[in-house]
A and B are shown apart, each in its own frame.
Chain A
Amino acid sequence: MLAPYCEGTSADQLVVRLGLEAADWWAAHTQATCQRGSLVLSPTRDRAELAQFAGRTEGYVKVDGPQIAALEPDLADRFASGLYFEAEAHLAPRAALAQLRAGLVRDGTHFVQDEANPDDYARRGITVDCRGFQARDTQRDLRGVKGEMLVLSCPEVTLNRPVRMLHPRVPLYIVPRGDGVFMLGATMIESSSAAHISVRSVLELLSAAYALNPAFGEAEVLEVGVDCRPAYPDNLPRIRRDGNLISSNGLFRHGFLLAPAMARMVADLIYENIIPEVMDETPG
């Protein structure tokens, strides 16, 4: 999701501000984005969550039941109130990366897949280390935050935009990927293990999807995803420099949202010697 305003409910304003660059950037460089806003809903019982979310974010309009039904006909009569963030967008991450890569190859970039020590490359010239959690060997204060997600096929349901469902125990977001495919995310567990998804997480994610629309009960599970988000103690990104080696890391759960701004700042540092606002001079 490219949802900077929604992230403002718990993330620092830096994330919101840098994230505002994302939707336009991805739209300009790929055909994988879709700008139809995002919808935030809560079951009637948990409407206090919606009020709190509204109080901590901006860039939305309040919508009632008929307005929700107009935006998302398959959610008609299921929710009485919500928030519509019109300026937000979503993208198909794998398609976006593939298109980005194809464009770079067309422009003459060579991709080499190899296991290597970033220091070896740095001896030969400017090297940018973007390995995420794998950079723990040099970024000692990086920790892993486990995230789990599911990909479902449910042709009976149509959603036009990402929907975030607030719940005190199991918040959920669901992103339509087209052709009846949906991504359900995502847990956040203080763990550096990306080995397996737990039964509890599967139950919680699927139960929340079912609560959004019972038709998801008939969905097929296409994929289970588990990975480790790289995070510094304040959950904010950092750029660090040690001679020729530049580290760009700590994007936490905001990889696609912050990547354009981080890449811009790294490029400005290399080519213009402009110190990034997320520059961190302390060693990792």
Chain B
Amino acid sequence: MSWIALLAAAAAPAVLGDPTQEARARALDQEIRCVQCENEPIAQSTADIAQDMRRLVRERIADGDSDAEIRAYFRERYGDFVLFRPPFDERTLILWLAPALLAAAGLAAVWAQRRRNQADLTPEEGER
């Protein structure tokens, strides 16, 4: 780790004094991905870099940034990868629409099978 990063991290507290601010920081810790250890939020990681990223979150909060600004800040610095909530753009259009499309396709399949399922029922039985 470089000395500059060490100094920058040391300037921010590990825990914010204000409980509401600290709660916001912890929620953000869950959404931001540790860039060194794969697939862990910084809330969970024991890596040094995650510790620095946690301090960075608190530093931004102490400076008065909003949650959206902090997310944008991390995204600009580390790329989309760093946020566990995928962005909504043309790349992720299919991803975000998939649940609704799949649910609709399933409904259509169940509906299409309805006739076949009710083959030997009398019309009144089928109505129930």
A and B associate: no
Residues of A that sit less than 8 Å from B by CB: none
